[in-house]
Every structure is written in C-alpha cells, then in structure tokens.
C-alpha cells in the first residue's frame, strides 16, 4: 500500500461573508470544515483511484479527532501517532472577492515525540510499498526528520516521493545519504531552490535546471508547470508533458494530485510514459473539481488519452 505522510495536518475552515466588518461582529452562515494538509489530499486522491493507502502523521485533541472522523467518512484508512497537543485550525475568510487567511502555528513537538513518530512510522513501513511525504513540518521538527524517514524507507527498499517547500527540500537534498525516489517541485519552487528565473516555456533552461548536481541520485524530478503541464527528468532522460485544455474550476491541490498519481503508477510498476501520463491526468482532474484534492475517476481515461509526451533529446 501507499503510506501518505502529513506531519502538519489541519482542519481547514472557510467562512464565506457578504462583507467583512473589521473590528465588528461577523456572522457566518456558510461554514465549510474539511480535513486539510497536502498529504491528506494525496491520500484522498489515491483512494479515489482505488489504490490502497494509509494516511499517517501526528494528530491531537478534538481537532485531531475531527480530522480522523473526516477520513473515516471518506473511507480512507489512517493510523496517526496521537499526542495530547491540539492539532491546528486554518481559517480562510472569503469576502468581497478577497481571501483573508488566519493560520494557527499548531503544536510544537519535542525530540521525544519525534522519536515516537519514527517508531510509529517504522511499524507502518512493514506494510508499505511506496511512501509519500508532503508539506510543511510543525514547530520543533526539522528537515532532518524527512531525511530519517527516507533513510528508514530505503532500508526496506521502499521508494519515497517527496513534495515540500524549497526550504525543506534544500536541506533534504544536502543530505546525500537519503535520496527520495521522486520529487515534485513546481516551477516557482525549482527557481527558488536554484536561484534561477526559468520560465515554463524555456525547455533548454528547464533541462539545465533539472540536471543540477543537487538532484543526483534522484530518479524522478517532476517539475509541474500548472496549465502548461510538466517537465520531467527520469534517470538520464528528459520529457515534456503537454496537457489538454479543460474547464478549470479549482486548481488548488493539483500538485498533491500529481503526487498521488505518481505514487499509484509507481506502486503498479508502470512504464515511464504511463507514470508521467497518470501523474498529469490526476493533476488535470483535480483542477476540474471544486473540492481541493479531489478527482472524478470516471473522467480518467478521457483525460489520460489526451496527454502528450515529448522526449527531449
Ligand atoms: P498545489 O500547490 O496547488 O497543489 P502545484 O503548484 O504544486 O499545486 P501545479 O504546477 O499548479 O502544482 O499543477 C500540477 C499539475 O496539475 C500540472 O502539472 C497539471 O497537470 C495540473 N494542472 C494545474 N493547473 C492546471 C490548469 N489550470 N489546467 C489544467 N491542469 C492543471
């Protein structure tokens, strides 16, 4: 099965207001509360693709209970380490065409909790075949935790797909002993990481960027380019993936859906072309839906058949 890790999950609360009264009382009728976090999006999309998945990370308090109940409702298997620290809420206030966000910092974990999580994760690895690690780390935990998780998976020959901010990615890449099988920066993250300004249309620039020595030992470097598809390095080969024009509803979480597609295709030991097409299809399918981290698998074949892959010589 695929083990999908979210170290910093949240309950995402959205308040839709006609008008935002600063320093006044705002009453809300439209409240939406969902289990949030990039790895939870990955888990949901894997589940919607009918592949086996286990969501994990650290949860605590009544907010943690709510996240678990949402996963339960969606039928997603989960096994989180429980702490007595409350998980966080992230609030988005949608008003007058604007979005004001209030993000709780969330819990701070100690070295002891880090050790407990690593033990918990090691047990899960006994059942794992692919691991995905997504998103930020709560306070108290550092990028070295991701490196340790990659190392533990590697000892069991379990591939890891890592999708995190350029700041954490840089620190993980600096640690040569623990290479993930795949990473999925978007173009902005790639540029930040390498201090470049490559555009999505600059094939030579992209090729040069993904050939940077910091990526050595990583089989898959998939740079997602939003509506322009993706540029991919697989071992010593380079590919450009073109995607069809589709009615876009909400592209947020498309990157997480790409990670889910990658994980499923890698789990199923698909060909290189199939892995790329699956990852692109899930990204596109997410962009066509209102819900973040959601795909309609009935449209899978239709979108898949329209993805074009060009090998770059
Ligand atoms: P997020 O952080 O919101 O999860 P991301 O920035 O990591 O997203 P993107 O590069 O925006 O990821 O998109 C990932 C993939 O999703 C793209 O490679 C593409 O396949 C698909 N996608 C994204 N935006 C669109 C769009 N507007 N139309 C069609 N497909 C899209």
CA atoms lying within 13 Å on the CB side of residue 205 = 12
ipTM: 0.98
Residue to mutate, 6, 255, 294, ligand 1, most ligand atoms under 8 Å from C-beta: 255
Is the Cβ atom of 135 under 6 angstroms away from ligand 1? no
Q: Distance between CA 262 and CA 230 in Å, rounded?
A: 13
Report which DSSP code applies to 199. -
Query: What letters, b where the CB count within 10 A reaches 16 and e where it falls short, cover 55-71?
Result: bbbbbbeebbebbbebb
| Pocket residue to mutate for ligand 1, from 189, 221, 283, most atoms within 8 A of Cβ | 283
pLDDT of res. 306: 98
Residue 298 makes CB contacts below 8 A (sequence gap 6+) with none
Q: Which residues on neighbouring strands pair with residue 232, listed in sequence order?
A: 222, 239
Q: Which atom of ligand 1 is nearest to the CA of 187?
A: 10
283 lines ligand 1 (CB under 6 A): yes
Domain limits of the chain?
Answer: 2-17+30-312
Closest Cα partner for 63 from 39, 91, 43? 91
From the CB of residue 199, how many other CB atoms can be counted at a distance below 10 Å? 11
Return per-residue pLDDT of the chain as tens, 313 residues: 999 999 999 999 999 999 999 999 999 998 999 999 999 999 999 999 999 999 999 999 999 999 999 999 999 999 999 999 999 999 999 998 898 999 999 999 999 999 999 999 999 999 999 999 999 999 999 999 999 999 999 999 999 999 999 999 999 999 999 999 999 999 999 999 999 999 999 999 999 999 999 999 999 999 999 999 999 999 999 999 999 999 999 999 999 999 999 999 999 999 999 999 999 999 999 999 999 999 999 999 999 999 999 999 8
Alpha carbon distance 73, 68 (integer Å): 9
CATH numeric code, 2-17+30-312: 3.40.1190.20
On whether the pTM is more than 0.95, the answer is yes
Q: CA distances (Å), 53 to each of 42, 78, 127, 178, in order?
A: 9, 8, 10, 23
Q: What is the pLDDT of residue 24?
A: 96
The pLDDT value recorded for residue 30 is 83
d(CA 261, CA 129): 15
Helix (H, G, I), strand (E, B) or coil at 63: helix
């Amino acid at each position: 099965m695929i083990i999908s890790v979210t170290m910093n999950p949240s309950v995402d609360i959205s308040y839709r207001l006609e008008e935002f009264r600063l320093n006044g009382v705002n009453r809300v009728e439209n409240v939406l509360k969902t289990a949030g976090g990039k790895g939870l999006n990955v888990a949901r999309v894997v589940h919607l693709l009918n592949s086996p998945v286990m969501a994990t990370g650290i949860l605590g308090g009544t907010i943690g209970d709510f996240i678990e109940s949402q996963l339960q409702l969606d039928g997603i298997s989960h096994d989180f380490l429980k702490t007595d620290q409350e998980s966080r809420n992230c609030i988005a206030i949608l008003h007058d065409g604007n979005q004001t966000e209030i993000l709780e910092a969330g819990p701070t974990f100690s070295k002891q909790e880090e050790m407990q999580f690593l033990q918990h994760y090691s047990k899960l690895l006994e059942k794992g075949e692919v691991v995905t690690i997504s998103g930020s780390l709560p306070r108290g935990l550092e990028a070295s935790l991701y490196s340790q998780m990659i190392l533990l998976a590697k000892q069991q020959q379990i591939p890891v797909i890592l999708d995190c901010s350029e700041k954490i990615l840089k620190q993980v890449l600096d640690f040569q002993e623990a290479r993930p099988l795949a990473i999925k920066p978007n173009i902005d993250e790639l540029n930040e990481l390498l201090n470049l300004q490559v555009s999505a249309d600059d094939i030579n620039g992209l090729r040069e960027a993904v050939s940077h020595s910091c990526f050595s030992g990583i089989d898959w470097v998939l740079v997602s380019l939003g509506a322009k598809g993706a540029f991919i390095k697989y071992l010593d080969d380079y590919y450009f993936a073109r995607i069809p024009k589709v009615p876009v509803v909400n592209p947020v979480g498309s990157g997480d859906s790409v990670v889910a597609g990658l994980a499923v295709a890698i789990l199923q030991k698909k060909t290189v072309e199939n892995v790329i097409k699956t990852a692109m299809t899930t990204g596109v399918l997410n962009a066509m839906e209102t819900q973040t981290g959601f795909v309609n698998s009935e449209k899978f074949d239709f979108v898949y058949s329209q993805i074009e892959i060009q090998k770059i010589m």
